[in-house]
Structure 1
Amino acid sequence: MKKSASCFLAALVAFGMMSTAASADVKKGQKVYLKTCKNCHGSGTKGAAMHTQDEWDELFANGGANIIKAHANDKSAAYFNGEAFKNQSQDLRDFLFEYGSDSGNVPSCG
């Protein structure tokens, strides 16, 4: 009985840590959005609602190939083809997915 209770508590702690990490990614993604996307796409509320969650998944699949292609001919092309996007893309995707048009969620500010 003690062993199963210990396993349960360990799993509960691990799950709690994963939930905290997931929300941190969304917050980091919001900061990335406000810094790199807001000028063209408006507030985080407006920008994230441009697509559904499934559409955001498609845009960011394969290293963000589709979102890179969508921005190939505009002033942000250098960002999307650079190291910054590679390093920030997962956080940005998490933010946009979290607040996609079909999510029912609205960012707190931005």
Structure 2
Amino acid sequence: MTKLLKLTMAVALLLGAVSTTASADARKGQKIFIKKFKAKCGFNGAKFAAKHSQAEWEEINEAGNFKKEMMTICPDVKESDIKDSWVPHLYDFSYDYANDSGNVPSC
């Protein structure tokens, strides 16, 4: 019984950790944009996110071109400036505040 309990707890802990890291956060993406990219882009996150509709952002992200599109919109941003771990958060921010979302970020 002790081995079963330990195994169950280990699986629960692992699933909790995986689900936490797999979920992205638009608010975190907004904070990253403000801190790291607002000055380099020359405009705020609202203008960045409004460059595309939600469907367009989704298509860009699914194609794996989010970094490339970010560098197109903000020419002063280099690929090395964008950490891979930030992309899901920046994508969620862009998607949530796209030009057809009806949402307006506070940055």
- Secondary structure at the aligned position of 2:80 is classed as helix
Deviation at 1:87, TM superposition (A): 0.6
Deviation at 1:101, TM superposition (A): 0.2
Q: What corresponds to 2:100 in structure 1?
A: 102
Q: What corresponds to 1:90 in structure 2?
A: 88
**How large is the Cα RMSD of the aligned pairs?**
2.9
Q: Tell me the matched-pair count.
A: 85
Task: Determine what percentage of the aligned residue pairs are the same residue.
Answer: 35
Deviation at 1:78, TM superposition (A): 3.2
The structure carrying a bigger helix percent of its residues is 1
Q: What corresponds to 2:31 in structure 1?
A: 31
Runs of at least 5 residues in structure 1 that lack an aligned partner in the other structure: 1-17
TM-score (norm 1): 0.62
Separation in structure 2 between the aligned mates of residue 69 and residue 94 of structure 1, nearest angstrom: 14
Q: Label 1:90 to 1:41 Cα distance change in 2 as closer, same or farther (>3 A).
A: farther
Q: What corresponds to 1:49 in structure 2?
A: 50
TM-score (norm 2): 0.63
- Secondary structure at the aligned position of 2:87 is classed as helix
5 Å matches for 1:51-90?
A: 51-63=52-64, 65=65, 67-68=67-68, 71=71, 74-79=75-80, 84=83, 86-90=84-88
